[in-house]
Amino acid sequence: MISRPGHDVKLSTYSEPTPNSPCMKPNPLPPIEYLQQMFCLDTVSPSGLRWRKAPSAWTKVNSVAGVQRTKDSYWRIRWKYQGKTVDYMAHRIVYALQHGSDPGDMFVDHVHNDKDNNKPLRLVTKLQNSHNRNGRKNTSSIYKGVCFIQATGRWRAHIRVDKQFKHLGVYATQEEAALSYNEAALLYFGEFARLNQINSTEN
């Protein structure tokens, strides 16, 4: 039960539909010694990396490594390795060079969730990585874990934990519902919680 002034909410659950295409396990990186020969870390580079060694005739040494994808703003790097074209997220290579080892099966998370590879990165599980995501854009609220109930004109707060949605309560404003989500996110996800930035309550 989560207690707030005027709201003692007992959490209820319902199963989440199984996704059609779950996230793939990260691919192993080339050996760290090879990565150190190919790349250098650079906080001025928007990808966090520059080419120490040109991977092709049309790529210049010391140029920015990688291309930023328009659909999700992640930097990716593609080049030929052992006769095959390889494609990796730039932040995984950045982490490997910073720590001297391949992240392996773990995911590399942007702590501040802003896709900036020059800001702190950390190793997380797949589940922990999902906790730090923004809310969906095609919802009725600007806040994560909040939706509008058209029939009543009120706002429902909910959170997903262990592939189940938990109902947190119904509130008069979306700001109250967003605050309820934040409290539950801290309870369940701790440092991996992606909290709503609450605006002033609308009149």
Reduced to 3 states (helix: H, G, I; strand: E, B; else coil), residue 187 is helix
What pLDDT is attached to residue 130? 64
Predicted confidence (pLDDT) per residue in 100-122, tens digit: 999 998 888 887 767 788 788 88
Give 131: exposed, middle or buried? Use CB within 10 Å, 0-12, 13-18, 19+: buried
Q: Which residues, 6 or more positions from 19, have their beta carbon under 8 angstroms from its beta carbon?
A: none
What pLDDT is attached to residue 199? 74
For the chain, domains (ranges, CATH) are 2-19+131-192 (3.30.730.10), 32-104 (no CATH)
The most confident of the ranges 22-31, 66-75, 136-145 is: 66-75
Predicted confidence (pLDDT) per residue in 9-47, tens digit: 444 333 333 332 235 678 899 999 999 999 999 999 999
